Amino acid sequence: MKREVGFRVITILMVLSLSSCNKIVDWGKSNFYQGHEYDTYVCMAKPFIRSVTIYDQLSTRAHFDALLLSDEVRTAYADLHSARFAKSLEHKAIFLRRQLEENDHYISFYFLTIYGLKLGTPESHWTLILEVDGKQYQPVELKLIDLPYEYQIFFGELYNRFKEPYHVRFDARDLQDHQIITSDTQEIKLHVRSAQAGSVFAWQLKQSKLDQEVLPHKDMITRKSKRITRGRRYKS
């Protein structure tokens, strides 16, 4: 009987404490300065992140996170980088133009693996293959890197001390110097495979009309940057 009464008292106290949780949170924020919150542009990059865990029965064989460095993602990176360092609009425009020009030459990804699961070496068990319009391509560069801080923010909790970041690049043109991704391309796939298992990440490339209006066109950015450069030259 005493146990039952005690249990009811504890339950009531827990319910009452829940009702005061908001007050506790408000008290914490008012007494422990949280700093100003800024836009991290994560919402622009998050749709381009893909993750998968591959199991061997009940044990984890591998875990991968891939971020396609699309024009949208590179724009978010330029926005966050420029905001962090209080860069001028002129500097931001030039920086963004360089970021977008990279996509004219390469199809790039940031790729996270479990620590110790090496890629890009002769002893690697896993390989990466790009598929576009039914054709498959090998990477021209696959290397372990120090992930830029802005991209750490984009990955969020997916990036931690148990993960290793890689930069993966594929040529944007084939052996006949034709663009791999064309105006008709609707989807690209990144295959990650070993001799025993694998998975596929997929990204839809068809932008909505709203997306096309929000993202500055490369030609517009290039023209703007050229005007800025000429203006500086005339002033000097």
> Which secondary structure element, helix H or strand E, spans residue 95, and what is its range?
helix 89-105
pLDDT at 152 over 60: yes
More confident residue, 80 or 2: 80
Number of structural domains in the chain: 1
194, part of any domain: yes
32, part of any domain: no
* Maximum separation of any 2 CA atoms in the chain, in Å: 91
Residue 113 CA to residue 109 CA, distance in Å, equals 13
Task: Report the share of the chain in percent with pLDDT over 70.
Answer: 72
150, part of any domain: yes
The predicted structure's pLDDT at residue 26: 61
Tell me the DSSP string of 15-80: HHHHHTHHHHHHHHHHHS---------HHHHGGGEEEEEEEETTEEEEEEEEEE--HHHHHHHHHH
Tell me the DSSP string of 101-151: HHHHHEEEEEEEEETT---SSTT-S-EEEEEETTEEE--SEEEE----HHH
Residue 76 CA to residue 45 CA, distance in Å, equals 7
pLDDT by residue (tens digit) across 26-76?
Answer: 655 666 766 778 789 999 999 999 999 999 888 888 999 999 999 999 999
Q: Are 48 and 70 in contact (CB under 8 A)?
A: yes
- Poorest-pLDDT segment among 52-61, 78-87, 89-98: 52-61
The predicted structure's pLDDT at residue 37: 81
Residue 110 CA to residue 198 CA, distance in Å, equals 18
pLDDT band at 223, cuts 50/70/90?
very low
225, part of any domain: yes
pLDDT band at 1, cuts 50/70/90?
low
141, part of any domain: yes
Residue 23 CA to residue 233 CA, distance in Å, equals 58
Domain with 135, as residue range(s), is 42-235
The predicted structure's pLDDT at residue 12: 54
Provide the 8-state DSSP code for 12: H
33, part of any domain: no
For 96, the 3-state DSSP assignment is helix
12, part of any domain: no
The predicted structure's pLDDT at residue 232: 42
And the tokens for 51?
């993750």
Residue 39 CA to residue 80 CA, distance in Å, equals 8
Task: Report the share of the chain in percent with pLDDT over 90.
Answer: 62
184, part of any domain: yes
And the tokens for 217?
């066109």
Gap between the terminal Cα atoms of the chain: 90
